[in-house]
């Protein structure tokens, strides 16, 4: 195709596919055809191109995987596509929009492919693994869903999982968004890898001997069930009956679980209940968010990954008013390393990395409020429900990324244990690096159970302040963090003079 002809074609398609004005939308003919268009040029998929895919607005382009698009169209639009030089194939005709979406995203059966697991199948598989190796894996409930009160489970894996250990803890979770089902599949595959690999795979054995790994395969259980039951493949939010009419499961009701965290809540999502990113009535209005908060309250986490789809990019905290996060160098280094281990679906290069914004999503909250080096990985490209043949490859590549991610739990960094100098009891003390931290993040503390605070750092010299109410503050103006592993520091705080006088009475 000559350049001039291609440009004319793209201009025609851009006009044809551009969003209608609000006053024209109601007059538009309902798109009743599902088309497949193959071999779309890269130029048409970029910027303002006719096939630029927007995963938040699938009114026309439902998916665009490997240069092949599925889109909704009218008869006139089919004619225009043909005149522009494309060869659209009509896959289905229906006046029911949901039926067209089911055909596009589920395939000819109009039901999810068995490669995607339901929540019941995930919990059943987890129960089977726990029966096989009860020493390696335990389950505990962190909350329940907002609408149907179904349990939300977390799993702890280590070589002695029945109890919590003074070790670095890492979290992997999936399906904040209901239709982004690859997260559940990746986390489930990781669960199977950990149980099967202990004692067989030296690397997995090392992980479970030295770390605690926490898994939440599905955060948004109700929404995930809507998608994986075949009810509606478009469902993104949870199942909350937002308008209170007693009728549930009517698209696009619900609350976006990944816009409901309290860190800069008003900066994320939308107030529009019909919007794809409706953030709810107030921070932590949704039980799903409170479940994740409960997990973070129960266990101090070092790092975490939340899986989403799509885009083949890793987002990490953050750029805020042109300022990077306090731990930008470290978390960017880790994100870049992880991305370099995940090959894209087209085989041409690896995942990208990008700082996100400081909004109401999970990664700014985990980082800003809890000090967890958290990132979102957008798996795959061009859809949320991928063709079944692509699923194993996406999982395999992301397991490579997990291997790279877990390697960073070995440091370098600072591991501080704070105890009472008199009793030896662990203290919940503030562990502060004032020349790194600023007021954009909450202060970090040692956990109450072990008195431990861990922080990944680049090698170098740091100014450390450790304080606890009722105790004398300790200051380390030139603390050296080594090149490899954890620099361990035992700090025994002396009760303050006032505290000693009070206890002596």
The answer to whether residue 211 sits within a structural domain is: yes
d(CA 342, CA 362): 22
Q: Say if residue 152 is in the same domain as residue 216.
A: yes
The answer to whether residue 344 sits within a structural domain is: yes
Domain limit, last residue, from 43, 71, 106 = 106
Residue 24 CB contacts under 8 Å (≥ 6 apart), including other chains: none
- Predicted pLDDT of residue 505: 53
In 10 A of CB 57, how many CB atoms?
10
Q: Say if residue 19 is in the same domain as residue 84.
A: yes
Q: Say if residue 380 is in the same domain as residue 451.
A: no
As a whole number of Å, the end-to-end CA separation of the chain is 92
d(CA 503, CA 163): 34
Q: Say if residue 284 is in the same domain as residue 201.
A: yes
Q: Say if residue 282 is in the same domain as residue 371.
A: yes
Cross-strand bridge partners of residue 474:
466
Q: Which residue has the tokens 């089919």?
A: 78
- Predicted pLDDT of residue 376: 98
The answer to whether residue 252 sits within a structural domain is: yes
Q: Say if residue 259 is in the same domain as residue 332.
A: yes
CB of 303 within 8 A of CB of 374?
Answer: yes
The answer to whether residue 187 sits within a structural domain is: yes
Query: Token pair for residue 200?
Result: 């067989």
Residue 130 CB contacts under 8 Å (≥ 6 apart), including other chains: 137, 138, 139
Cross-strand bridge partners of residue 420:
493
Q: Which domain holds residue 420?
A: 413-504
DSSP 8-state secondary structure symbol assigned to residue 494: P
- Predicted pLDDT of residue 52: 87
d(CA 346, CA 65): 9
CATH code: domain of residue 59 = 3.30.70
User: What does each of the 505 residues of the chain score in pLDDT, given as a tens digit?
Assistant: 444 444 444 444 443 444 434 334 444 578 999 999 999 998 888 887 778 888 888 889 999 999 999 999 999 999 998 998 889 999 999 999 999 999 999 999 999 999 999 999 999 999 999 999 999 999 999 999 999 999 999 999 999 999 999 999 999 999 999 999 999 999 999 999 999 999 999 999 999 999 999 999 999 999 999 999 999 999 999 999 999 999 999 999 999 999 999 999 999 999 999 999 999 999 999 999 999 999 999 999 999 999 999 999 999 999 999 999 999 999 999 999 999 999 999 999 999 999 999 999 999 999 999 999 999 999 999 999 999 999 999 999 999 999 999 999 999 999 999 999 999 999 999 999 999 999 999 999 999 999 999 999 999 999 999 999 999 999 999 999 999 999 999 999 999 986 555 554 5
Q: Which of 223, 406, 204 is nearest to 305 (CA)?
A: 406
Q: Say if residue 459 is in the same domain as residue 495.
A: yes
d(CA 182, CA 179): 9
CATH code: domain of residue 158 = 3.40.630.10
Q: Say if residue 362 is in the same domain as residue 217.
A: yes
Integer angstrom CA distances of residue 98 from 49, 92, 115, 233, 235:
26, 12, 22, 9, 11
The answer to whether residue 73 sits within a structural domain is: yes
The answer to whether residue 112 sits within a structural domain is: no
Q: Say if residue 53 is in the same domain as residue 186.
A: no
Domain limit, last residue, from 79, 106, 133 = 106
Q: Dmax of the chain from CA atoms?
A: 93
d(CA 30, CA 19): 14
pTM of the model: 0.93
Q: Say if residue 388 is in the same domain as residue 435.
A: no
CATH code: domain of residue 490 = 2.60.40.1120
Residues present in the chain in total: 505
Q: Say if residue 232 is in the same domain as residue 214.
A: yes
d(CA 476, CA 127): 48
d(CA 363, CA 372): 8
Q: Which of 460, 265, 459, 273 is nearest to 365 (CA)?
A: 265
Q: Say if residue 339 is in the same domain as residue 400.
A: yes
CB of 239 within 8 A of CB of 223?
Answer: yes
Helix axes 221-228, 119-132, angle to 10 degrees: 110
The answer to whether residue 111 sits within a structural domain is: no
The b/e string for 191-211 (b: 16+ C-beta within 10 A; e otherwise) is: bebbbeebeeeeebeebbeeb
The total number of structural domains in the chain stands at 3
The answer to whether residue 113 sits within a structural domain is: no
Domain limit, last residue, from 80, 106, 132 = 106
d(CA 317, CA 356): 6
């Amino acid at each position: 195709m000559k350049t001039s002809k291609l440009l004319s074609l793209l201009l025609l398609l851009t006009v044809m596919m551009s969003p209608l004005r609000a006053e024209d939308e109601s007059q538009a003919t309902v798109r009743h055809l599902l088309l497949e268009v193959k071999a779309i040029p890269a130029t048409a998929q970029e910027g303002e191109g006719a096939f630029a895919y927007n995963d938040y607005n699938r009114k026309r382009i439902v998916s665009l995987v490997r240069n092949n698009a599925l889109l909704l169209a009218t008869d006139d639009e089919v004619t225009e596509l043909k005149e522009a030089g494309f060869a659209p194939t009509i896959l289905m005709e229906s006046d029911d929009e949901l039926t067209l979406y089911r055909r596009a995203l589920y395939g000819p059966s109009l039901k999810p492919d068995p490669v995607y697991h339901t929540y019941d199948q995930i919990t059943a598989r987890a129960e089977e693994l726990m029966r096989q190796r009860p020493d390696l894996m335990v389950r505990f409930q962190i909350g329940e869903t907002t609408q149907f009160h179904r349990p939300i489970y977390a799993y702890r894996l280590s070589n002695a999982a029945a109890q919590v250990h003074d070790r670095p803890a890492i979290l992997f979770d999936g399906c904040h968004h209901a239709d982004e089902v690859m997260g559940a599949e990746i986390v489930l595959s990781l669960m199977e890898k950990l149980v099967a690999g202990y004692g067989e795979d030296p690397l997995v054995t090392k992980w479970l001997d030295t770390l605690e790994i926490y898994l939440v395969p599905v955060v948004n259980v109700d929404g995930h069930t809507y998608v994986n039951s075949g009810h509606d493949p478009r469902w993104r939010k949870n199942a909350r009956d937002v308008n209170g009419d007693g009728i549930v499961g009517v698209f696009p009701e619900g609350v976006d679980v990944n816009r409901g965290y309290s860190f800069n809540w008003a900066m994320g999502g939308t107030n529009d209940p019909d919007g794809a990113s409706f953030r709810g009535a107030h921070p932590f209005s949704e039980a799903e968010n409170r479940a994740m908060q409960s997990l973070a309250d129960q266990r101090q986490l070092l790092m975490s990954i939340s899986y989403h789809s799509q885009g083949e990019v890793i987002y990490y905290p953050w750029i805020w008013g042109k300022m990077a996060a306090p731990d930008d160098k470290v978390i960017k280094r880790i994100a870049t390393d992880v991305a370099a281990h995940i090959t894209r679906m087209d085989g041409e290069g690896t995942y990208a990395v990008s700082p996100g914004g400081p909004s109401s999503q999970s990664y700014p909250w985990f980082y800003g409020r809890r000090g967890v080096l958290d990132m979102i990985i957008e798996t795959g490209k061009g859809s949320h429900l991928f063709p079944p043949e692509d699923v194993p490859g996406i999982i395999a590549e992301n397991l490579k990324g997990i291997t790279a991610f877990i390697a960073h739990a070995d440091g370098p960094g600072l591991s501080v244990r704070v105890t009472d100098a008199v009793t030896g009891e662990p203290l919940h003390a503030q562990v502060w690096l004032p020349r790194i931290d600023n007021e954009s993040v909450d202060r970090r503390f040692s956990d109450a159970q072990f008195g431990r605070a861990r922080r990944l750092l680049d090698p170098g010299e740091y100014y450390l302040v450790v304080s606890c109410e009722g105790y004398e503050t300790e200051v380390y103006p030139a603390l050296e963090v080594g090149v490899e592993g954890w620099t361990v520091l035992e700090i025994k705080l002396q009760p303050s003079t006032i505290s000693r006088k009070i206890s002596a009475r």
